[in-house]
Amino acid sequence: MRKIKAIGLLSGGLDSTLALRIIHDLGIEVLAVHFHTGFCFSGSHRAEGDGSAQGGSSALFTEAEKLGVSVEIVEVSDGYLKVLHHPKYGYGKNVNPCIDCRIYLLEIAGDMMEERGADFVFTGEVLGQRPKSQRLAQLRLIARKSGLEDRLLRPLSAQLLSPTLPEREGWVDRSRLFRFQGRTRKPQMALAAELGIEDYPQPAGGCCLLTDPAYGRKVRDLWERSDKDELGWEDYLILKTGRHLRVNPELKIVVGRNQAENQILAEFGRGSVRIEVEGIPGPLVVLDAQLTDANVLVAARIAARYSDGRDSPEELTVRVENGDEVRHIPVRPYKAEEVEPWVIS
Ligand code: SF4
């Protein structure tokens, strides 16, 4: 008899790891797929729509490796900005277009299912775990709009959902699936303990960058002042980097918070102006604005504010490098309360 095959969407969080284990233990041949949208936290994290998204946790690979399941990393960032910019079903609490995101990823999974001769797709989604995107109506909508219909199985909540094709055909035994629902993670943690799965990110941990309120504020600030269709990955990469200050509608300043961020800003910062306090450890500052003397002065005082010389009673010398032109400007650092209203994040 032909072996049944399934594509499993794995984020690296606990739920998708459990889904992988459940389906594998039912004797199904699994191809694990880890989608890379470009908005993953580095290191371990779990996506809101767990199982539909991405992560980067070693847990995913550890468990898959133990089971002898191969994990395919699929780059989907090319089409992802369109999903982010024009979500048909809107955003969650921040700038996370969860429903559209899941439809998009599951469409790709559906194509893979066809190409690889697999029979169904499964995810680690849990009914009601996210009130806005994982209610029954949304789970049905996602199954329908992704084109997977009843070839989409959610093993963790399957017993609360209508039987899918794999269950009706007897490919998977419905009685060995689960009826988890809601925000509590205790049943999943208990199951993990029972199955000997120990290496997973804390269930209450983070999510994809798009669900992060601080990142969301920076994205919204960008959207308010740009044509979304003109934005590219570079614009979003800069938002991941540094402290962002909106001084006025025409002036945004980005301050590196450490050496790594300073390097990214130096490489990708808009324009070629580098502003740094001379002779004192401090950040690299870049401007997203016209290079007027007034704007450069504000940026220089901000650079001084975030340098180790912030409390100096003396003026600090700030080096402003614009291509071949280098200027030295004496400035007083701003006080904390002066810059606070400008901080987006
Ligand atoms: S947008 Fe939502 S579903 Fe997509 S990866 Fe982020 S949290 Fe998960």
Q: For 286-345, what is each residue's pLDDT tens digit?
A: 887 888 999 999 999 999 999 999 999 999 999 998 888 899 999 999 999 999 999 999
- Looking from the CA of residue 102, the nearest atom of ligand 1 is 3
Angle among Cα 340, 93, 144 to the nearest 5 degrees reads 155
- Looking from the CA of residue 211, the nearest atom of ligand 1 is 7
User: What is the rounded CA–CA span in Å between residue 261 and residue 212?
Assistant: 19
Say if CB 179 and CB 157 are below 8 A apart.
yes
Q: Where in the chain is the domain with CATH 3.40.50.620?
A: 5-208
Q: What is the Å distance from ligand 1's center to 17 Cα?
A: 17
Q: Which amino acid is at 193?
A: A
Check residues 51 and 109 and name the one with the higher pLDDT.
Answer: 109
Q: Angle, to 10 degrees, between the axis of helix 77-85 and the axis of helix 98-116?
A: 150
Whether the predicted pLDDT of 48 surpasses 50: no
**Is the pTM here over 0.85, yes or no?**
yes
pLDDT value of position 45: 36
Q: What is the Å distance from ligand 1's center to 316 Cα?
A: 45
The predicted-structure confidence for 260-271, as pLDDT tens digits, reads as follows 999 888 887 656
User: What is the rounded CA–CA span in Å between residue 198 and residue 240?
Assistant: 30
Average pLDDT in the 40-47 region?
A: 47
User: What is the rounded CA–CA span in Å between residue 265 and residue 258?
Assistant: 11
Q: Which residues pair with 329 in a beta bridge?
A: 318
Residue closest by Cα to atom 7 of ligand 1: 48
Any residues with Cβ below 6 Å from ligand 1, and which?
Answer: 47-49, 52-53, 96-98, 101-102, 207-208, 210-211
Say if CB 245 and CB 255 are below 8 A apart.
yes
Q: Does domain 5-208 have CATH number 3.40.50.1700?
A: no
pLDDT value of position 205: 43
Angle among Cα 312, 316, 322 to the nearest 5 degrees reads 150
Burial class (CB in 10 A: 0-12, 13-18, 19+), 112: middle
Q: Give the tokens for residue 145.
A: 């709009």
